[in-house]
C-alpha cells in the first residue's frame, strides 16, 4: 500500500491527499491545477496558473530590459561613431560637418586665393626680377585648396547625414519593437 502525502491546496487551502510520485494534481474543491513541489524536505503546492502568470511577467520584464539595453548600446555606438565625423576648426573646436559650411569655407579660401592671385599679378607684372611669377602661383594653390577642402567637407557631411539617418532608423525600429511588446503585454 502506498502512503499518501497530506498537503493543502495553494489556491483554496483545502486538504489534499497526494501520491508521493505525483507532480501535478487538481484540487477537488476549487478545481485549480496544481504543481507539487518538493524542495529540501518540504512539499507544497503551487497554482499552475500563478506560475504561468509569474513566468509571463518575467518574460515581459526581460524583454523590456533587453529593448532598453539595445537602445542604450545603439546610442553609445552612435556617440562613438559621431566623433569620427567631427571636423576640427582652426582653434581646435570640433563640430559636425554640414554641406553649407563646406561650401562657405571653400568659397572663402578660393576667394582669398583669387584676390591674392590678382594682386600678385598686378604687383609682379612689371617687375624686372626673375621668379616673381611664383607669388601669383600661391594664390592658385589657395584656390585649388579651397575647392579640394569644399569637396572633401561636403563628402564628409554627406556621409554623416547617411550614418545619422541609419542610426535614427535603427533607433525607431527598436522603439517600435518595444512599443509592440508593451502593447502585446497589455492585451494578455
Tens digits of per-residue pLDDT, 67-112? 889 999 999 999 989 888 888 877 888 888 888 888 888 888 889 9
Q: Measured between alpha carbons, how far is 16 from 110 in angstroms, rounded to an integer?
A: 93
Q: Using CB atoms within 10 Å of the CB of residue 63, give its burial: 0 to 12 exposed, 13 to 18 middle, 19+ buried.
A: middle
pLDDT at 187: 53
Q: Span 40-55, mean pLDDT? A: 83
Predicted pLDDT at 170: 93
Confidence of residue 115 (pLDDT cuts 50, 70, 90): very high
Q: Report the C-alpha gap between 148 and 145 in whole angstroms.
A: 5
Least confident of 6-20, 98-112, 121-135, 158-172: 121-135
Task: Report the domain count for the chain.
Answer: 2
Q: Are residues 106 and 48 in the same domain?
A: no
Same domain for 43 and 111, yes or no, is no
Q: Going along 40-110, which residue ranges are E strands? A: 42-47, 87-88, 94-95
The residue range of the domain holding 167 is: 86-186
Is the pTM higher than 0.85? The answer reads no
Query: Are 20 and 109 found together in one domain?
Result: no
**pLDDT score, position 152:** 87
Amino acid at each position: 500500500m502506498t502512503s499518501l502525502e497530506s498537503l493543502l491546496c495553494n489556491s483554496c487551502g483545502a486538504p489534499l491527499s497526494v501520491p508521493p510520485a505525483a507532480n501535478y494534481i487538481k484540487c477537488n474543491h476549487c478545481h485549480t491545477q496544481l504543481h507539487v513541489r518538493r524542495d529540501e524536505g518540504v512539499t507544497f503546492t503551487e497554482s499552475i496558473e500563478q506560475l504561468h502568470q509569474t513566468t509571463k511577467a518575467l518574460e515581459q520584464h526581460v524583454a523590456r530590459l533587453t529593448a532598453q539595453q539595445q537602445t542604450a548600446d545603439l546610442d553609445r555606438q552612435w556617440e562613438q561613431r559621431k566623433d569620427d565625423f567631427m571636423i576640427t576648426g582652426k582653434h581646435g573646436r570640433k563640430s559636425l560637418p554640414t554641406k553649407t559650411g563646406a561650401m562657405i569655407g571653400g568659397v572663402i579660401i578660393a576667394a582669398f586665393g583669387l584676390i591674392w592671385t590678382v594682386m600678385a599679378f598686378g604687383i609682379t607684372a612689371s617687375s624686372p626680377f626673375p621668379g616673381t611669377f611664383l607669388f601669383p602661383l600661391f594664390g592658385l594653390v589657395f584656390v585649388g585648396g579651397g575647392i579640394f577642402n569644399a569637396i572633401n567637407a561636403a563628402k564628409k557631411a554627406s556621409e554623416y547625414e547617411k550614418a545619422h539617418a541609419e542610426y535614427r532608423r535603427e533607433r525607431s525600429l527598436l522603439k517600435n519593437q518595444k512599443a509592440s511588446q508593451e502593447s502585446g503585454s497589455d492585451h494578455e
